[in-house]
Structure 1
């Protein structure tokens, strides 16, 4: 299987491609060890953090909710699809309950050591099999460029909604990128407009002399990453669609980006 992102073929040599490192069981309940790992690696891959039945249950709800648009029969009404997604699913109680389930909410309260705040703008990514070319996969970026009106200590959770083998186009992280980004941010040498870095993942790996880290995710996994960690997604070359969600938690006592306090919609400009 050839790995691509937005049509760009990844260099699969040992110098440019590696595997994501899951948090070992011995560290799962050690907050200090987790913070040390997050500062070192820029991410935490928490295998089995959520109940797979809850995850797959939400995937089934999404499937049923979008069915009237014809998306599953190949005769899709795009206007109806967008209406169902942005007017029913995204602001709906099922999605809110999923994002605030105890396995997520209580973990963040424990990890952050106090009262937390979940940003209202939450995203659902639906990537169909065979989609390729610029704009179909998430381009390389780090989250702070979209969150500059609040704290830089906001944490993102990427949750695959169902199993997501590498072939289905899950998230990939540029190894060690947060160290370089953080240094450049502090030095004021990075561009500030909210935009992706590039769709050219192999070129960016060469520029950083770093590896893209990939993984096969299972329903129930959650990846937490800092606002400085460069990440992207792969193309979906599987025979099923990839569904995932991006949500963001932070300490309630820290500055909150006001632009992220409305439900996600196509014209929100972020």
Structure 2
């Protein structure tokens, strides 16, 4: 297990949250176990292998993370999405606006209007964000954790905002979208700002790594006769809408997980990073932040240089790219 900055508590009182579809009961919830950034790398590796995730506290300087948040929301200052008399860095949603008019990536559909979609596309090439992707604290941690001489960032990064009241990502594991190529791909999920316990964070299934492998093995058996292009497609006939396993995390645990395990949740601070295995089952909750803060985060995938990773991911995100 990771060396934690605080012990995992079995107490789940007051954790009950809203999923994408339906609420997730307290009985299914527990806490992510955080790890100090200066913990021995051997313990970090063991934690990632055994738990399927590694939640590193304060890995990246807070100011560097908030700088990215500030630049992102500056692009929305004249759109009506942000509350008046607040700053771009705060990223407070305008309570008089309709969340469906200001959708981010992963909300089930794209926002209406070419300008709104183009804003999402352009955010991935914004200089402050691009520079952040090579942050030395992040890259050094990845090389040490994985034992790689050099890492490759897959160019298809996902930078998304999640407004209060709007949908986010359903239950899935990343290998669903990375089936071409046999390389191990490590995901780094980075909250770009503080996220409260009800702020629409990422959650992990405690038994998710093994369950993800079981589901993938079943998929492989059922898709053995598929043509290659269909076998690697996350949206093929064996998958649910948008490639997800479910939009109801509570029902998924009761049915697919057979009630074994818990959904692991936490507050997050700017500077935290969660690394996870490609088979680790995870998903998002509905943003119900009581301050109206917009959740902003980025998903990054890394592979070892020279390995056979999925080449479809070497193009920047764009609408309709099929991934």
TM-score by length of 2: 0.76
TM-aligned CA deviation for residue 152 of structure 1: 4.5
Q: Quote the Cα distance in structure 2 between the aligned partners of 1:69 and 1:265.
A: 21
- 2:143 matched to 1:95? no
- Return structure 1 stretches of 4+ with deviation > 6 angstroms: none
SS of 1:158's partner is: strand
Distance 2:197 2:127 in 1: 31
The answer to whether the 8 Å contact 1:34/1:44 transfers is: yes
Change in 2 beyond 3 A, CA 1:49/1:184: same
> What SS does the aligned partner of 1:106 have?
helix
Correspondence for 1:198 among 246, 252, 256: 246
From the CA coordinates, give the structure whose radius of gyration is larger. Answer: 2
Indicate yes or no: 2:203 matched with 1:172. Answer: yes
**TM-score, normalised with respect to structure 1:** 0.90
CA-atom RMSD, angstroms? Answer: 2.0
* Residue aligned with 1:23, SS: strand
CA distance, structure 2, for counterparts of residue 184 and residue 79 of structure 1:
38
Q: Distance in 2 between matches of 1:84 and 1:173?
A: 30
SS of the equivalent of 1:243 reads: strand
Shift of the 110–172 alpha-carbon distance from structure 1 to 2, 3 Å rule, reads same
Q: Find the counterpart in structure 1 of residue 35 from structure 2.
A: 23
Which residue is 1:217 aligned to? 268
Which structure is higher in RCO with an 8 Å CA cutoff and minimum separation 6?
1
Residues 139 and 196 in structure 1, CA contact (< 8 A), matched pair in contact too: yes
- Cα pair 1:71 1:81 within 8 Å, conserved: no
Distance verdict in 2 for CA 1:216–1:78, change over 3 Å: farther
Alpha carbons of 1:184 and 1:167: their partners in 2 closer, same or farther (altered >3 Å)? closer
Say whether the 8 Å CA contact 1:56–1:219 is kept in structure 2.
Answer: yes
CA deviations on 1:97-145 (whole Å, 9 max, x unpaired) are: 11111111222122222111000000112111122xxxx1210000001
* Separation in structure 2 between the aligned mates of residue 225 and residue 151 of structure 1, nearest angstrom: 17
Inter-CA distance 190–232: structure 2 relative to 1 (3 Å threshold): farther
Structure 2: gaps (5+ residues): 1-13, 84-96, 103-111, 224-230, 235-242
Question: In 2, Cα distance between the equivalents of 1:4 and 1:152?
Answer: 35
Pairwise CA distance, 1:33 = 1.6
Task: Could you tell me which runs of 5 or more consecutive residues in structure 1 were left unpaired when the two chains were aligned.
Answer: none
Alignment of 1:96-245 (within 5 A): 96-113=130-147, 114-131=149-166, 136-186=167-217, 188-189=220-221, 193-194=233-234, 195-207=243-255, 208=257, 209=259, 210-238=261-289, 239-245=292-298
Distance across 1 between alignment mates of 2:164 and 2:222: 35
Q: Distance in 1 between matches of 2:270 and 2:299?
A: 15
Q: Partners in 1 of 2:205 and 2:266 — Cα distance?
A: 13
Q: Shift of residue 69 of structure 1?
A: 3.5
The number of residue pairs the alignment matches comes to 261
More helix by share: 1
